[in-house]
Chains A and B, each alone.
Chain A
Amino acid sequence: MPSTHDWINEPLAVVEGMFAASQNGQSSGWEAKAVEFFVEQLKEKEAQSLVPSLNDVPLHYLKPNSLVKFRCLIQDMFDPEFYMGVYETVDPSTKAKMLRCGKYKDVTESGVDLNSKSTVTAERQTFYCVPIPGENQWAKDGYAATTSNQGRAVPSTSYVPSRQKRSYEEDEEMEVQPQKQKETHAGSQSATEQHGNGDCKRQETEAPSSQAASASHLDLNFPLPGEKGPSCLVKVYEDWDSFKLNDTLEVYGVLSVSPALSALAEEKDAFLDPTESMETAEELRVHCPPASLVPRLHMLYGKRVAHNNPLLPHASLEESSAFFSSTLGEMAAVRAELLSYFTHVLLGDALAAEYLLLHLISTVYSRRDVLPLGKFTLNLSGCPTVSSYTELLYQIIQQLVPSSFYLAMSLQNMNQMRLVPKKDYVANRLVSGALQLARNTSLFLDETQLEQGQLDATGVRNVTALGNLISWQKVDYDFNYHQMEFPCNINVLVASEGRSLLPSDCHIHLQPQVAPPRMEEYLSSIHLHPQASSQLNKFRVFLGAARLLDYSISEEVTKAVEDDFVDMRKDDPQSISADDLHRLLVVARLLSLSLGQTSLSRDSWLRAKHIETLRRSRMEQHKSVNGNEP
C-alpha cells in the first residue's frame, strides 16, 4: 500500500506527530485537530472501505495499532477511567527526559517517570461493545463485500505472525486450533481463580451470585444465545455522554491488542498490591479480558448509525436524498412484488400479507411523553401447526431484514431464558438478555410453541417483560436494588394459533386459501422457490428505505380524517374508539410510506380504512372461535 495510507496503518504516528508539533509550538487543541484529521480522511467513501473491519476480518489478520472499524452495539458501559494523557519518560542510559502522549494507547513506553510534574491526567470512558445482535448473514456478507477485499490486503503485506497464537477464530473449521488456545486460557485463568479463592473470594459478603464461580471466562456476554464474533472494549475520549446503551455505532479506532493488557491481569500479585486484590476475580476477568479475545479499540471517530442495512447509504444527506428519490419511483412496483410474495408465503392470504408488510416497515419514530408512536406489533393468529410453518415464516423474514431473532415461547424457554438484562454486581457488569436488541430488530415470538403448564416466577417476569416491550417499547433492566427503564425500538411479531396472550397493536387471523390436505405440499413448495438474490435485494432496500422516509399530513387531509372520525362515531359510537383511531393513523402512515408517498393522501386514508374494516370483520367472525377474546 502506498504511503498515503499511513494513517490507516499507523494512526498513532499521525497522532504523535501532532502531539510533538503542539509541544514545540504553542498551538493548543492538537487533540481536536487530530480527530478532525481522521474525520476528514474518512469523508471519502473509498477511504472508509479501505479501513478493515473487525466484523469480518479475523482479529489475527489485523495489524495491531492500525486503524480498524467496528459495527457494534453498546452492550455495557464501564466506569470512566483516568489515564496518563501526557507523561514523561526517562531514558535509562542517557537520562534524557521526553514527553509522550498517552492518548489512544493502553500501555506506556518504558521508563515512565511517575513522579514527573508534567504528567497530565485525563479521563476516558470504556464501552463494552458486541456485534449487532441478531444480524443476519446477508447483512454481514453485504458489509464484508464492501470492505474486506482491501481489509485483508492491507495487513497481509505487513503481517505479524507472532500474533497468530491465541486468536479467536470465527470459522467453524478452525475450531480445533482455538480449542487448544482455549485450554491455555483455561490454565492461566484457573490460576487466577485459585488465587481469587485465596485472597478475594473470602472477602465477599455479597449474596453469592449464581454464576459467580462457574461462569465461563469465555462468556462474552452476547445478548442472544449462539452469537459469534468479536466483542470489543471501546475507549471513548470525547463526548461519551452522547452515547447511550444499546446504540448502534460504527467506530473507527486504533486497535490495541497488547499482550501486556491480559498479562497484567493474569500475573497480578495480590499480596504486593492490596488495592488490586479488592476486585474480584470475576470483575477482573470481565473488565480486563485477554486482549486476544476482546481487543481494545481506541475510538478516533464514531458515529451512531440509523440502520444496519448494507444496501442503503449510511452517509450524508445529499447522497441519501439522491438515493431516495431514485428508489421512491420504484417503490410501488417493488411493493406489489413483495406483496404477492408474502401472499404466497402466507398461504394465499393477501390481507395478512398486507399487514405483515406494514409491520416490517414500522418503527417508533417519536415518543410523546410515555407513548411510543409508530409501533405496530402484529399478532398473526391462526398459524397452521403443521411442519413448523412458523419457523419457515421466520426464515423468510430473516432473509429480508438486517437483524432479527426467533424466540420460541415454549414453557421451558419462558421459564429459563434470560430476557431482561441484569446487573451482576460481583463481576460489575450488565449481564445481557435476549431483549437487549438494537433498534429495528425484528423479534419473532412463536407462541405456537407454548403448551399448557405452569410458568414459574421467572416465566411470569419474562412474559411481563414481553408485554411491557410491546405496550411501551421499553425494557426494565434489573439492577437488583432497583429497575431502570431503557426505551427500545423492536418490531415484535407474534405468531400464534389463537389470539395471543400478549398484547398487540394489531391482530389478524390467518385465512389460508390452501386446503389442509395440500398444506404440506404447499409449504414444501415455498421452500423450493427461494427468491433470486437480486429480487431479495430489491425487497431489502424497499423495507429499509420505507422506514427512513419522512412523513407528514397536510391540513386538508387532517380535516378529512377528523370529519371521517366524527362521522363514524355518529353512526355507532361503539364502532371506533380512540385506540382504533390511533391504529388507523399508524396503518395509514405505514401504507403511505410503503407506497413511497411521504404525505398522507385521501386515497391512502380510504385504503387504510378499507383494510382495517376487512380485518375487523374477519376478527368478528373469529370471535366465537377464540378463547382469548374478552
Chain B
Amino acid sequence: MSSPASTPGGRKRGRNANPATRKSRTFFFFNIQEDLHISVVYLPWIVPNEVDMSSPLMYGTPSSTPRGGTPARQRPDLGSVRKAPQVDLHSDQPNADGTAASEPNAGHRLVIWGTDVNVGTCKEKFQRFLQRFIDPASTEDENAGLDLNEPLYMQKLEEISVVGDPVLNVNCRHIQSFDAELYRQLICYPQEVIPTFDMAVNELFFERFPDSVLEHQIQVRPYNALKTRNMRSLNPEDIDQLITISGMVIRTSQLIPEMQEAFFQCQVCAFSARAEVDRGRIAEPAVCRHCNTTHSMALIHNRSLFSDKQMIKIQESPEDMPAGQTPHTTIVYAHNDLVDKVQPGDRVNITGIYRAVPMRVNPRQSSVKSVYKTHIDAIHFRKTDEKRLHGVDEDGEQKLFTEDRVKTLKELAAKPDVYERLSSALAPSIYEHEDIKKGILLQLFGGTRKDFSQTGRGHFRAEVNILLCGDPGTSKSQLLQYVYNLVPRGQYTSGKGSSAVGLTAYVMKDPETRQLVLQTGALVLSDNGICCIDEFDKMSDNTRSVLHEVMEQQTLSIAKAGIICQLNARTAVLAAANPVESQWNPKKTTIENIQLPHTLLSRFDLIFLMLDPQDEAYDRRLAHHLVSLYYQSEEEIEEEFLDMAVLKDYIAYARTYINPRLSEEASLALIEAYVDMRKIGSGRGMVSAYPRQLESLIRLAEAHAKVRFSEKVETIDVEEAKRLHREALKQSATDPRTGFVDISILTTGMSATARKRKEEVAQALKKLIETKGKTPAMKYQQLLDDLRGQSETAITKELFDEALRALADDDYLTVTGKTVRLLA
C-alpha cells in the first residue's frame, strides 16, 4: 500500500514526461501546455531535482530534515495534487490575489497555479498554528486528558509519537480563530493546502521526534469546516472546496482496490516500468525503453500498487429536510484507512472535497451527456450518533441561530406573558386544558441537567415525565401527535403496537457480515427528545417494565446475545392512557381507573386528567373555539398564534443556551413548599409528599425559568411549579372517598384511607375470631357472613380476603381452600 520509494521529499516521484495538470477553477481538468506563457515550477516534494535551488520554495524543504525510514503514503482523497505547478505572480498578474501579492517578503510571490496559496507562507503559518494554538475552552471529548493550557496540537503530535497512529485531526474552527486567511485558503483550495499542511506537520514532527518510526507519514485531516451544510444546499460553487455535511449512511460498497501505480514488464527483456494512474487511466508504454520492442510491455498485477477505496452513499438526515420532499443522496468515496469506518445506518458528519466529473466522452459518439457526476472525497468522518449514545455532546447538537432570530426570541422572552403565550401556541387546535399545555410546555423545556457522578448518585433526571389520562376522544392522541411533530427528536409509539425490544434495543445479526448489530428502539432514539407513548394502558406489563429504568435513571441496560451495555435514554416520556372501563369513573382513584402499577406512576412528575368538564361556560368557549377553527382563514390563524417554527426555535434555543440555577430565595421557597406538602398529610396521619415530589418541583421550576430565558430560578418559578404540581395532584391524586388529595394513591397505589380501612377490617376480623373461642378451623363463607353481620359498613369479598391475608402475614392464621385455620 505504501510506496517503497523514500524520496527526500517523502512524496512519490513525479515523472518528467507527465505534463503538469491540475484542476482548474472551472471544474475541469486542465492541461497546461508548453505554450503557456507562465513560468511553471514543480512543487518541491514532487521533483526536487527540477526545482531551482535558489527559489524561495526551497525554504525548509524536506531534504534538510532527513526522516528515518518513514515512508510517505499517497493521499487518494486529495486527487492528483502531486502535479500542481507553482506560478510566479510577476508573470501572471491575473492570478494575483491582493492578499497574496501584498506579502512583504518578496520571496513569497510564488503561488500554486490557479490559487493564491504560497507554499512557504502557508506552511509557516500552519506550523505556527500547531505550535501556538491553545484552546482553553475546549470541550471536545477527544481532547480529554490533554493540558488545555499547552498548545493543543503539539500535545497531539506527542500522542502520535507514543501511539503511532499517524493521523492528525485538525479542527477547522481552531484554524479559523487562529488565522482566518489560512482558513479561507484551506476551504477554497483544500487540494493544495492539505498537502502543504502534511509537509509542515511532518517537518515539525520529525524535528521533535527524530527517532520515531511511523507506519507512514502523518496525514492532516481537517474536520468541522464551518461550511457545514446540509446536502440540499450544495451547489456548483462548492465544487473542489472543503465542505462538511451531515447525513446518514445508507449503503456501503465492498472494498475496491484502486490501482495507483501500474507495473509493466517487458516480455522480451524483462525491463520494468511504472506508470501512475492518472484520472482512472493508465498510459501503457507502447515501446520498451530498454530493448525498443513495441507492444511488449505487460501489466504485472502483483507488483502494481493499489489503494483501498470504498463507495459510501449518504442520505440527508430527516431533520434537515423540508416537508414534502424526498431526501437527497450523495456518493462519498472513502480511501485507505477511512474504508469501513462507517456502516449503513450511521449518522455521520463528513468533511471532504466536493467533486464533479463530466460524463466520459464515448469515443463512438460525437455528443456527450451534458451532466456531471458528483461525489465527495472523504477526508474525515465523524459519527454523530455514537456520541449521542455514550455521552453528553454539545457542539453536534447546536442549532445555529441567526442574530435576527436570537433577537426576536429574546424580545419574546422579555414579554411578561411569555409563558401564557407559549402555552397557548402549543397545539392551538386543542381547546383549553391550559394547565396540561403548560405542563407539556415545561416538559419541552426540561430541567437543568445536573451531574452528581462525583458524589456517587450519577445523573439527576432533568426530563419531566407526563401522563395524560382521561376519557377517550378528549384529543389526547392529538396532543401527542402535536408534540411528536414539534420536537426534533420525538418518537411516537402506541402501547398496543410496541414490544419491549421495540422500545429499547435489539440485537440483530447483519445478514451480510454476520456481525451482531445493536438496533436501537424508540426510547433510545428519542434520547434528548420526547418519547410519546399512546395507549399506555394497553402496553404489556413486560414492555412497561423497561420504562422503570428509563424514567428514573435515564439509561437502558441491555444484556443480550453477548452484548452487555448501558445506553443513554435521556428522554422525557409523554404518555396517554385510557381508563379501563372506557369511561372515567370518578368514584375510583387514578390507579383503579387506569390499572397501572404505582411504581410506574410515581415516576411521572405530572399526571393530568383530561375530562369533559361539563359546564356551560366551558361549553361556550369550546364551541367558539371549534367554530372559529372552521371558518378562519390561514392568515388569521397565523396572526393569532405564534407559529410553530418560532416555538420550535424558542425551545431549541432555551434548551441549548439556558441553564438556570436555583437562587437563594427559590431554594427557600422550595423547602417551604415541600415542608408544607408534608404537613398537609401529617395532620391526617398520612404522608403527602416524598423526595421524588421535591425533585419534580425543582425540575418544573427550572423549566419555568428556562421559559423566561432566565439563568436563575426565582420565586415566581417555584410558585408556578407549585401551582402546576398541585393542579395535577388535585386531578389525579384526590381520594374519591374522602375528597382529599392523597399522594399515596400514586406512590403506594392505595389511598391512606383505604389502607386504614383494611387495617380496621383485619382487626375486626381478629376480634371476631377471638370471640369464637378455641376453634382451630372455621369455614370461610361462615366467617365472611359473620363479619358482615357484625360490621355496620359493607364488607366486600375483596376486603375480606385482604384482611385474611393481612392476618396470615402476621402468622395468626392460614387459609387453605375454603377453611381458615388458626395458628398457634
Q: Which residues of A contact B (CB under 8 A)?
A: 76-77, 79-84, 87, 102, 105-112, 114-119, 121-123, 202-208, 241, 244-246, 258, 260-261, 263-264, 267, 272-276, 278, 366, 368-371, 373, 423, 425-426, 428, 430, 460, 464, 472, 479-482, 484-487, 551-553, 558, 561-562, 565-566, 569-570, 573, 577-579, 581-582, 585-586, 589, 600, 630
Complex interface: stretch among B28-36, B656-664, B807-815: B28-36
Q: Which chain A residue has the least Cβ–Cβ distance from B637?
A: A368
CB of B758, distance to nearest CB on chain A (Å): 34
Q: Is the pair B512, A264 in contact by a Cβ cutoff of 8 Å?
A: no
Q: Is the pair B372, A121 in contact by a Cβ cutoff of 8 Å?
A: yes
Residues of B within 8 A of A82 (CB): 236, 239, 356, 371-372, 374
* Cβ-closest 6 pairs across A and B: A244-B324, A110-B366, A553-B631, A368-B429, A565-B623, A562-B623
Q: Is the pair B616, A121 in contact by a Cβ cutoff of 8 Å?
A: no
Residues of A within 8 A of B281 (CB): 272
CB of A63, distance to nearest CB on chain B (Å): 19
Q: Is the pair B428, A585 in contact by a Cβ cutoff of 8 Å?
A: no
Residues of A within 8 A of B482 (CB): 369-370
Residues of B within 8 A of A109 (CB): 367
Residues of B within 8 A of A368 (CB): 428-429, 629, 637
Give Cα A275 to B281, complex, Å.
Answer: 12
Q: Which chain A residue has the least Cβ–Cβ distance from B328?
A: A79
B634 within 8 A of A: yes
Q: Is the pair A206, B367 in contact by a Cβ cutoff of 8 Å?
A: no
Q: Which chain A residue has the least Cβ–Cβ distance from B644?
A: A369
With A245-B326, A366-B634 known as contacts, the answer to whether A107 contacts B367 (CB < 8 A) is yes
Q: Which of B616-669 touch A at CB < 8 Å?
A: 616, 619-620, 622-624, 626-631, 634, 637, 644
CB of A430, distance to nearest CB on chain B (Å): 6
Q: Is the pair B327, A479 in contact by a Cβ cutoff of 8 Å?
A: yes
Complex interface: stretch among B64-72, B244-252, B691-699: B244-252
Q: Is the pair A369, B427 in contact by a Cβ cutoff of 8 Å?
A: yes
Q: Which chain B residue has the least Cβ–Cβ distance from A288?
A: B369
Q: Is the pair A578, B620 in contact by a Cβ cutoff of 8 Å?
A: no
With A82-B372, A273-B360, A425-B250 known as contacts, the answer to whether A370 contacts B620 (CB < 8 A) is no
Complex interface: stretch among B416-424, B473-481, B565-573: B473-481
Of B31, B375, B428, B622, which one neighbours A115 at CB under 8 angstroms?
B31
With A267-B362, A273-B360, A558-B624 known as contacts, the answer to whether A204 contacts B253 (CB < 8 A) is yes
Of A112, A202, A569, which one neighbours B619 at CB under 8 angstroms?
A569
B384 within 8 A of A: no
Most buried by B among A111, A116, A206, A373: A206
Residues of B within 8 A of A112 (CB): 361, 368
Q: Is the pair A121, B239 in contact by a Cβ cutoff of 8 Å?
A: yes
Q: Is the pair B356, A371 in contact by a Cβ cutoff of 8 Å?
A: no
B258 within 8 A of A: yes
Give Cα A570 to B616, complex, Å.
Answer: 7
Give Cα A105 to B313, complex, Å.
Answer: 28
CB of B711, distance to nearest CB on chain A (Å): 31
Residues of A within 8 A of B626 (CB): 578, 581-582, 585
Q: Is the pair A203, B372 in contact by a Cβ cutoff of 8 Å?
A: no
B256 within 8 A of A: yes
Give Cα A426 to B281, complex, Å.
Answer: 28
Q: Is the pair A121, B27 in contact by a Cβ cutoff of 8 Å?
A: yes
Further 20 A-B residue pairs, CB within 8 A, beyond A82-B371, A121-B372: A82-B236, A82-B239, A82-B374, A84-B372, A108-B368, A116-B28, A117-B24, A123-B235, A205-B252, A267-B364, A369-B485, A371-B429, A373-B629, A425-B250, A487-B323, A558-B624, A566-B619, A573-B612, A581-B626, A585-B626
Residues of B within 8 A of A573 (CB): 612, 614
Q: Which chain A residue has the least Cβ–Cβ distance from B480?
A: A370
Q: Which chain A residue has the least Cβ–Cβ distance from B231?
A: A79
Give Cα A553 to B624, complex, Å.
Answer: 12
Give Cα A107 to B627, complex, Å.
Answer: 57
Of A110, A205, A369, which one neighbours B253 at CB under 8 angstroms?
A205
Residues of B within 8 A of A430 (CB): 326
Q: Is the pair A481, B429 in contact by a Cβ cutoff of 8 Å?
A: no
Q: Which of B246-305 touch A at CB < 8 Å?
A: 248, 250-254, 256, 258, 280-281
Q: Is the pair B620, A566 in contact by a Cβ cutoff of 8 Å?
A: yes
Residues of A within 8 A of B716 (CB): none
Q: Is the pair A373, B318 in contact by a Cβ cutoff of 8 Å?
A: no
B358 within 8 A of A: yes
B359 within 8 A of A: yes
CB of A466, distance to nearest CB on chain B (Å): 14
B402 within 8 A of A: no
